[in-house]
Structure 1
Amino acid sequence: MALCSIPGLSWPTSFKGARILPGKRRNEAQRLPNGPPVMITSLSAEDVSDKPMERIEPGSLPDVEPSQLARALEELVERSASDWDVSHTTHSHPLALFKVPWLDKLVPGLEKLAAEYHIGNFVVVRDTGKLMFESMPIYARIGMHLLFYGDLQIDILKNRTVGRLLKDVSVKQGKIYDSPKSIQSIPSFVATYAIKLDELLEPDLKAYKCFNDFFFRRLKAGARPVQNVDDPSGICSAADCRIVVYPTVDLARKFWVKGANFNIPNLLQIPPDSPAAKDFEGGSISIFRLAPQDYHRFHSPIDGVVGDITDIEGQYYTVNPQAINQDFDVLTSNVRSVLYLTHTITGKQIAFVAVGALLVGSVKWTKGAEKGKTVQRGEELGYFAYGGSTVVAVLPKGCIEFDKDLVKNSGKGLETLVKVGNSIGRTSSS
């Protein structure tokens, strides 16, 4: 199994002498004062130096049949309707598989894999420039492995394709988390990801109507101030997320998006010889990936005017970087909704693409649905119902000069942690 490496960066490859929590065993859940168990989902690079990061490959789980993976994913979702501790179901993490012993029976070798490798991704903390490791939820790990089987029909799944399976479990999970009973899962979700309640508009967990109501929670006014708000050329982050930015699609394909069919016309589902495609020729892209624990409302990166929306049917593949970085056409295959915004300062259109993903119920537009409305940077456009997902912003050539630190990290194949309103660049002077 290959060790994941990142060009231009180095850290110990012997993976010895790590510390996770002083005086704690790796499989022991950390506790908040007077609170429930908290799963460790984010660690420093030093903390994960004891073993390599898994590079997910078809042979990673050699003793597992696709039907077993499919059943495990279905079981994780089914159990979330009755077991309100999310760390026992869809938000089980590799560092705490001891909490779900039944899973290793369905997926032989999964526990061994988690013992030998860290399963997840490195991201850059923008404020410090340091690497942080984010653990991958088990549902995403299983969902990605299923992609290796392509459109294979699995007998035990009543001849459903993998794509159909992923859609079915995504729709089912959305319905479960729309149920009033699902409010019982909110406390364990907060504990699992150590979500800060003091920045929420409604910090009382009992006030939410269902899990999804909490998932697309609102923040207090002023919780996400727009950086350089008085500079009309500023462009800001559309989400609390992990971001990569590329001045051209060719660079995005070189360092990040490996799907063979990735290009702007396919992403927007427009004819390659259309005027719109010509407008975006040579354009820049920024990819904002939201993890399950993030604030899931997305905001306008520019000052502009709301235009048309195009909804595109598609798949529900995981948007985890390890899927994007392999030859899976995730961004151009997944269900997505494209909003066109007219940039005030240049008069050019940008495409704001909300991409659905595994276990994401739906994309909902709020101010983004009000055609003709003027929006300012940082104003809400919409939100994702349950699940981690992605926004892709496509800007015409020469429309943006990205911040240098983001360009540098993206060129190394690294995402950077940013929040709504943080600067990602400014309108090019040219």
Structure 2
Amino acid sequence: MTSSAVLCGYGGWFPKNPAIYKAFIDHMVRRALRRSTDSTSHEPAVAAFGEAIQGDSVMKSLFDQVFLQVDTRNKVTDFEHLLSFLDCIIVTAPKYEVATDENGDVIGEPIGVPIYLIFDLLSNTAAAYDLFRMKEFNRALKALLENWGKFLMQPGSNLTLNTTDEGWFGKAGITSLETHLGKYSFEQTYKCPDAAADNRGFTTWDAFFTRALHDGVRPIVTRDNHPVTFPGGLQTRAVVEPTLIYSACESTVLRIRRDVKQHDQFWLKGQQYSLYNMLNRDDDYAKLFEGGTVYQAFLSPLDYHRWHSPIKGTVTDIVVVDGTYYAVLPDAGADHGDPDLPEGDPHGALIRSQPFLTIEAARVLIYIKSDDINIGTMCFIGVGMAEVSTCQVTVKKGQVVEPGMELGMFHFGGSSHALVFSKGTEFHEGDEIKEGKHVWVNSVIGVATHKQDSE
């Protein structure tokens, strides 16, 4: 049999090939059945989550309604069944799922966010919209996810980093990992502790997920994308134009919106950005950015997950916001013309809710003030989607940052981010920066001018 891999649907969050999704769900159903048959008790973290839900009459009732409202394609039959699924997931690392297609070929796609796939259809219900936004629910879920996160940082969590068909470095897996790496291989792009080893020397899953780039593979460039680095990676700061805006993440452009309001109807289908909610209900910051521009792009589980500064400036404020993990705007399914799902398919509501997640999900806000009047103060928002709940900041308030300098990183899965510019800044995106375009970190995404100068 031969192996093949394809660019993943919904940015790698939801398998593009239905056979892969079916294989994953069927595999989970069998594992959950074996787990519940072999043991009468849940994993401690799962048991604690279950007790928190069952001990609250409102949450218990809402969960009962979720299972009544969910689409018939759902394979998680009830709350106890859900707990059995979670038992299986939190003691293993995400893996590369393989299946056999109609031609007998081995096909594969990564399942980087397995808990999300279990919650996917459940979240697209009216009851889940209420339940998954409750502080009590997210407090209980946070404890469960943190427990899994600790496992993913321990030796032994790297067992899926191997060269088998179901390994991330198998033939299909490495092909997927190299989808957006251009002329470089995985080993040429990322720092691998032992590039010759089957697991590339990564001793934990988290070390693999937060892998760093080799110097020079994502150089800071000029407006025409010419590198401005000398041998050894030394940056020529003098030739970097101060008005250029650089990509903060290796990501796919979701959308760009101008003249953003302080308060808007983010719950409607158009999902308008509401600055007051995005910026943690801070009136002063909401007023500062009123009438400005939001650039949003999302990361695949396959992407590089560290954030880089999009401008030169000083970090003036850092705000960490606790939020939701699986709350979405329930919808009628995929729209007509959806590139990956048939019209009306209820899967993937979380991905279709990304603008909504900028006001609901766990996130971090990093404010950077440029010395250049064309930019002024801007805000980087790192959005932790689903089980990607950990946003680690590596800079400090008052620190001067250069374009391309690391700001922080996501842990444990895919994610989204936004750049917010003030009303006084006119953001002119590059000709190639269009919705659906995958953009390398540190590449030029646009140029800023002062609005008075651009009129």
TM-score in terms of structure 2 length = 0.62
Structure 1 residue 212: deviation in Å? Answer: 0.5
In the alignment, the residues of structure 2 paired with residue 326 and residue 86 of structure 1 have an alpha-carbon distance, to the nearest angstrom, of 25
Q: Which amino acid aligns with 1:312?
A: V
In the alignment, the residues of structure 1 paired with residue 290 and residue 245 of structure 2 have an alpha-carbon distance, to the nearest angstrom, of 20
CA deviation map 1:78-114 (0-9, x unaligned): 4345556713xxxx4xxx4669xxxxxxxxxxxxxxx
CA deviation map 1:370-394 (0-9, x unaligned): 2222111111111111111111111
Do the aligned partners of residues 64 and 85 (structure 1) sit closer, same or farther apart at CA in structure 2, a change above 3 Å counting? closer
Q: 2:431 aligns with which of 404, 409, 419?
A: 404
How many residue pairs match? The answer is 333
Percent of aligned positions that are identical: 24
Name the structure 1 match of 2:124: 148
Q: 1:234 aligns with which of 241, 244, 251?
A: 244
Contact residue 266 and residue 356 of structure 2 kept, 8 A: no
Where in structure 2 are the equivalents of 1:80-119 lying within 5 Å? Answer: 80=89, 86-87=95-96, 92=97, 96=98
Gaps of 5+ in 1: 1-23, 31-38, 100-119, 121-133
Q: 1:358 aligns with which of 379, 382, 386?
A: 386
Contact residue 153 and residue 161 of structure 1 kept, 8 A: no
Where in structure 2 are the equivalents of 1:352-391 lying within 5 Å? Answer: 352-366=380-394, 368=395, 370-391=396-417
Name the structure 2 match of 1:267: 278
Where in structure 2 are the equivalents of 1:159-178 lying within 5 Å? Answer: 163=138, 167=142, 169-178=144-153
Moved more, 284-293 or 206-215: 206-215
Name the structure 2 match of 1:244: 254
* 2:319 corresponds to 1:343: no
Do the aligned partners of residues 257 and 311 (structure 1) sit closer, same or farther apart at CA in structure 2, a change above 3 Å counting? farther
In the alignment, the residues of structure 1 paired with residue 417 and residue 354 of structure 2 have an alpha-carbon distance, to the nearest angstrom, of 20
Name the structure 2 match of 1:217: 211
Structure 1 residue 278: deviation in Å? Answer: 1.6
* 2:438 corresponds to 1:417: yes
Do the aligned partners of residues 336 and 259 (structure 1) sit closer, same or farther apart at CA in structure 2, a change above 3 Å counting? farther
Q: Which amino acid aligns with 1:248?
A: R
Do the aligned partners of residues 172 and 282 (structure 1) sit closer, same or farther apart at CA in structure 2, a change above 3 Å counting? same
Report SS of the residue matched to 1:171: helix
* 2:225 corresponds to 1:198: no
Report SS of the residue matched to 1:332: helix
Structure 1 residue 335: deviation in Å? Answer: 0.9
Do the aligned partners of residues 276 and 387 (structure 1) sit closer, same or farther apart at CA in structure 2, a change above 3 Å counting? same
Contact residue 140 and residue 318 of structure 1 kept, 8 A: no
Do the aligned partners of residues 49 and 247 (structure 1) sit closer, same or farther apart at CA in structure 2, a change above 3 Å counting? closer
Contact residue 266 and residue 272 of structure 2 kept, 8 A: no
Contact residue 367 and residue 380 of structure 2 kept, 8 A: yes
Name the structure 2 match of 1:107: none
Contact residue 299 and residue 382 of structure 1 kept, 8 A: yes
Name the structure 1 match of 2:33: none
Where in structure 2 are the equivalents of 1:251-330 lying within 5 Å? Answer: 258=269, 262-271=273-282, 274-317=283-326, 322-326=349-353, 329-330=356-357
Structure 1 residue 209: deviation in Å? Answer: 3.4
Q: Which amino acid aligns with 2:307?
A: F
Name the structure 2 match of 1:207: 201
In the alignment, the residues of structure 1 paired with residue 442 and residue 243 of structure 2 have an alpha-carbon distance, to the nearest angstrom, of 14
Contact residue 310 and residue 338 of structure 1 kept, 8 A: yes
Contact residue 290 and residue 422 of structure 2 kept, 8 A: yes
In the alignment, the residues of structure 2 paired with residue 211 and residue 397 of structure 1 have an alpha-carbon distance, to the nearest angstrom, of 42
Report SS of the residue matched to 2:291: coil
Q: Which amino acid aligns with 2:313?
A: G
Q: Which amino acid aligns with 1:180?
A: P
In the alignment, the residues of structure 2 paired with residue 69 and residue 387 of structure 1 have an alpha-carbon distance, to the nearest angstrom, of 24
Contact residue 67 and residue 154 of structure 1 kept, 8 A: no
Do the aligned partners of residues 143 and 344 (structure 1) sit closer, same or farther apart at CA in structure 2, a change above 3 Å counting? farther
Report SS of the residue matched to 2:442: coil
CA root-mean-square deviation: 4.3
* 2:442 corresponds to 1:428: no
In the alignment, the residues of structure 1 paired with residue 207 and residue 112 of structure 2 have an alpha-carbon distance, to the nearest angstrom, of 23
Contact residue 299 and residue 415 of structure 2 kept, 8 A: yes
Q: Which amino acid aligns with 1:239?
A: C
In the alignment, the residues of structure 2 paired with residue 261 and residue 247 of structure 1 have an alpha-carbon distance, to the nearest angstrom, of 9
TM-score in terms of structure 1 length = 0.65
Report SS of the residue matched to 2:277: helix
Name the structure 2 match of 1:16: none
In the alignment, the residues of structure 1 paired with residue 16 and residue 86 of structure 2 have an alpha-carbon distance, to the nearest angstrom, of 32
Structure 1 residue 327: deviation in Å? Answer: 9.7
Structure 1 residue 425: deviation in Å? Answer: 0.3
Larger radius of gyration: 2
Structure 1 residue 67: deviation in Å? Answer: 4.8
